[in-house]
Structure 1
Amino acid sequence: MSEYGLLTPGSFRAAGVVDDRAVADAMVRVELGWVSALAAVGAIDRDRAERIAAAAADWTPDLAVIGAATEAVGNPVVPMLHQLRERLQPADAAVVHRGLTSQDVLDTALVLLGADCLTRVRADLGAASQALARLADAHRASVMAGRTLTQYAVPITFGLKAAHWLAGLIEAADDVAATLAGLPVQCGGAAGTLALSGELTADPVALAAAFAGELGLVWPGLPWHTRRRAVTRIGDTLVATCDALGHLGADVATLSRPEIGELHEAAAAGRGGSSTMPHKHNPILSVVIRSAAMQSPQLGAQLHLAAALAVDERPDGAWHSEWPALRRLLELTVTAASQAAELAAGLEVDADRMLQRATDAAADLLAERGDDGAGDPASYLGATDAFIDTVLARLSTGGPEHA
């Protein structure tokens, strides 16, 4: 991630969600969640857990120091722990992290970041969906030329096109909701056996379940240090969401071409200009949404590659290669979903131009029918209206606006 987003247009929309500060804060949340879980199962006194939490409440980790020390140990957990323990009494410091391993903390921290990002994505999908639903309903009768393989086909309506975009976003929101509901805690100790936790409590599995509960996550029944479906599931959800957003962006960009001119992004001060051609109004939101959709599959593939190369009881290198890919994928999707919500809310439709082009394109086809509807593209719309109703019904009975 770059500090100012010079090469990541719109990444300010994801500010504070996946940056180094967010990672450090998530790691601290995990450590404090573990301390609370120890107290919940009676492994330590509740007073001690509250004292540790109070000491961490007004503490800001020194990211520069953590970053500089990360290479020496291969992950940021150890230097973060060193700073946290320095704030505590020796007896309290000895309790923090005891029974965990660094991968437990960082995996769980990244899951928490995933939860925060997916929650934001779900909200923006809901906002975009509401805007698209309004377009689909308002433009049921706005006839436009259908296009297949880049060429004119039979007429459709813009309402149907908007309904297809909407259906994609509803499907993405369903995936997001399902992924959020199953996000797992990571808890296994040094080699995935909870051996040290067994010295702290008679039932280490109950401790792991309490840990999950403290963080609002799911205890999956056993650690997943080298079974990385938890990570690839998040990645797959993000990629599929970018796919749906990319479909929207690609269609809007295409229909915004001046030789087509059927759609336009809403004007915004300073947006869409050109350094050499001030008359231009580039569809920038569509362009950057498409860019996210083009980048996301390879980032998701990196997560699957890492999963396939996980070895032993804790991976070497494969685990480490997940971090930048997952973080960038989270940032991309949060950004693109926010951009899509703005794009959909301000989309301008030139229904007259759509109709004229559809009429011209359909004239020969309709004339071949030899019926009274010849020359009227609205007579060749099939089940278009029913399909729009189907999508709108899906939204009203459990779509992203209810998330």
Structure 2
Amino acid sequence: MTSVLTASLFSTPSMDVAFGDDARLQAMLDAEAALARAQAGVGLIPAGAAPAIERACQAELYDLAALGRAVARAANPAIPLVTALMEHVARIDPDSAAWVHHGATSQDIIDTGLVLQVRRAWTSLAADLDRVDAALVKQVQDRGHHVLAGRTLLQHALPTTFGLKAAGWLDSARRARRAVQAAIEDLPPQLGGAAGTLASMGGRGPAVLDGFAAELGLTASPSWHARRERIALLGSVLAILVGVLAKAALDISLMMATETSEAFEVPADGGGGSSAMPHKRNPVAVTAVLAASRRAPGLAATLMMSLPQAHERDVGGWHAEWEVVPDLFRLAGGAAARMADVFEGLRIDADRMAANLEMTRGLLFSEAAAVALTGALGRAQAHARVKAAAARVVDEGITLRQALEANPGAAAALAGRWDEVFDLGRTVVSASELERRLVGEP
């Protein structure tokens, strides 16, 4: 459910519209109109009934508040909607009212309406993911050469490049995007009738099913009333998308820390301040995305828990999906929009990146030193000597090179190779090729 106070942080206006009550109502009415056209097309209902039904399938004709009150008694929104739809059709053509919702069940209309909402929402989500993609490609192209400390378990490990880091964010976002799009494209309309057999449509049921799907621009499938793996998969990949974007948000939030200060989001309209501390430049967008990533897995888990559904229609399992899928789309849409803003405006402090490389006084070259010593000393001895030298760096405040020069065995083995071992460029020599493989050809 959306909140006027917080919706702008966790969702987007387009997502709020796509999954608002007006959109849900119109999507269900679109399903009813398509059903009437398909049935008229195969002669199951009178040809004149379809236009009358379609004329009544306009959301603005209906009292949302009254429908909402009726849902509490009916246990789903389709039952009161069908009643109201019949009343509107009767005013247009009394004879056509009897053909409203012919042979269908509530779940057919609610599920198909959801599929239509999802399809329409994807247009907005895809647009923001396009922005994410373009902004990250530009970051790699413009700033990919900057070298910074790679960090494992929050500690300096080896040098890496900002380009390789951003290319990793991009690759993950693209993979998650493909998964979401595939899950959406796999969603068919729902039409099975009371128990999935299309019994009330006689032998013309399969033809109606095909026509119904064609009217909606979808691919037909037999009833999936109690088989919800498509919905669970969609929810799972939406949660993954949020998590993928949140990984980049977490990296950036850590890079914004005072002690690091290597990258900064640019909050809109001077945001990011503190109510108590005037000097603060707090992360805003990345905070919202990280919060979304805490919520999304639990929502997806609800859909996973709803997979075992009894017989041909479940008690409660299907109903549990109704608010979950919209909430996941809102979170995914909000995360995509927020991170697109972040990537488009991200500021990089290359000087601070370079300064941070010096913070550990050469320890970032420990692997290079160990590799260089291995030929002369063997792997175990090389590792032991570099480890001992690293301990001196920490304890005595000297550089790794100084510590190794003071070790006779290591100094002899590295004679004439010092510049090679401590060459920053050699540590990231493969980075540009790895970036190219992740980003693709320009």
Counterpart in the other structure of 1:66: 67
Q: What CA deviation, in whole Å up to 9, does each residue of 1:341-374 have, x standing for no partner?
A: 1111111111121122124447234373543234
User: Taking CA–CA contacts closer than 8 Å with sequence separation of 6 or more, which of the two structures ends up with the larger relative contact order?
Assistant: 1
Deviation at 1:331?
Answer: 1.3
Q: What CA deviation, in whole Å up to 9, does each residue of 1:288-320 have, x standing for no partner?
A: 011111111110010010112x10211101111
Counterpart in the other structure of 2:389: none
Counterpart in the other structure of 2:400: none
Counterpart in the other structure of 2:125: 121
Q: What CA deviation, in whole Å up to 9, does each residue of 1:218-262 have, x standing for no partner?
A: 212x21111101211211221111121111111111111111111
SS in structure 1 at match of 2:290: helix
Counterpart in the other structure of 2:98: 94
Unaligned runs of 5+ in 1: 397-403
Counterpart in the other structure of 2:382: none
Q: Residues 262 and 285 (structure 1 numbering): CA distance in 2 closer, same or farther, change over 3 Å?
A: same
Residue 363 of structure 1 contacts residue 374 of structure 1 at CA under 8 Å; is this kept in 2? no
Unaligned runs of 5+ in 2: 373-413
Residue 30 of structure 1 contacts residue 108 of structure 1 at CA under 8 Å; is this kept in 2? yes
Counterpart in the other structure of 1:131: 135
The amino acid across from 1:66 in the alignment is: L
Q: How does 1:286-325 map to 2 (within 5 A)?
A: 286-308=286-308, 310-325=309-324
Under a length normalisation based on structure 2, what TM-score does the superposition of the two structures give? 0.84
The amino acid across from 1:356 in the alignment is: A
Q: How does 1:124-163 map to 2 (within 5 A)?
A: 124-163=128-167
Q: Which stretch has the larger CA shift, 258-267 or 161-170? A: 258-267
* Partner residue of 1:373 out of 411, 414, 420: 420
Counterparts of 1:9 and 1:215 in 2: how far apart (Å)?
33
SS in structure 2 at match of 1:38: helix
Q: What CA deviation, in whole Å up to 9, does each residue of 1:8-30 have, x standing for no partner?
A: 73434322111222211111111
Higher Cα Rg, which structure: 2
Counterparts of 1:312 and 1:267 in 2: how far apart (Å)?
51
Deviation at 1:214?
Answer: 1.2
Counterparts of 2:355 and 2:340 in 1: how far apart (Å)?
29
Aligned residues: 390
The amino acid across from 1:302 in the alignment is: T
Counterparts of 1:373 and 1:366 in 2: how far apart (Å)?
10
Counterpart in the other structure of 1:211: 212
Q: Residues 192 and 149 (structure 1 numbering): CA distance in 2 closer, same or farther, change over 3 Å?
A: same
Counterparts of 2:302 and 2:133 in 1: how far apart (Å)?
30
The amino acid across from 2:344 in the alignment is: A
Counterparts of 1:151 and 1:139 in 2: how far apart (Å)?
23
SS in structure 2 at match of 1:145: strand
Q: What CA deviation, in whole Å up to 9, does each residue of 1:114-170 have, x standing for no partner?
A: 222233222211110110011112223200000001110010000000000000111
Counterparts of 1:116 and 1:94 in 2: how far apart (Å)?
31
Q: Residues 362 and 322 (structure 1 numbering): CA distance in 2 closer, same or farther, change over 3 Å?
A: farther
SS in structure 2 at match of 1:203: helix
SS in structure 1 at match of 2:150: strand
Runs in 1 of length 4+ with deviation above 6 angstroms? none
Counterparts of 1:139 and 1:270 in 2: how far apart (Å)?
24
SS in structure 1 at match of 2:19: coil
Residue 150 of structure 2 contacts residue 159 of structure 2 at CA under 8 Å; is this kept in 1? yes
Counterparts of 2:423 and 2:143 in 1: how far apart (Å)?
17
Counterpart in the other structure of 2:274: 274
Counterpart in the other structure of 1:400: none
Residue 365 of structure 2 contacts residue 422 of structure 2 at CA under 8 Å; is this kept in 1? yes
Counterpart in the other structure of 2:41: 40
Q: What CA deviation, in whole Å up to 9, does each residue of 1:188-228 have, x standing for no partner?
A: 10111100122xxx3311211211111122212x2111110
Under a length normalisation based on structure 1, what TM-score does the superposition of the two structures give? 0.91
* Identical residues among aligned pairs (%): 35
Q: Residues 75 and 362 (structure 1 numbering): CA distance in 2 closer, same or farther, change over 3 Å?
A: farther
Counterparts of 1:92 and 1:342 in 2: how far apart (Å)?
51
Q: Residues 159 and 362 (structure 1 numbering): CA distance in 2 closer, same or farther, change over 3 Å?
A: farther
Residue 137 of structure 1 contacts residue 388 of structure 1 at CA under 8 Å; is this kept in 2? no
Counterparts of 2:64 and 2:140 in 1: how far apart (Å)?
48
Q: How does 1:237-252 map to 2 (within 5 A)?
A: 237-252=237-252
SS in structure 1 at match of 2:257: coil
Q: Residues 5 and 315 (structure 1 numbering): CA distance in 2 closer, same or farther, change over 3 Å?
A: farther
Counterpart in the other structure of 1:363: 362
CA-based RMSD: 1.9
SS in structure 2 at match of 1:156: strand
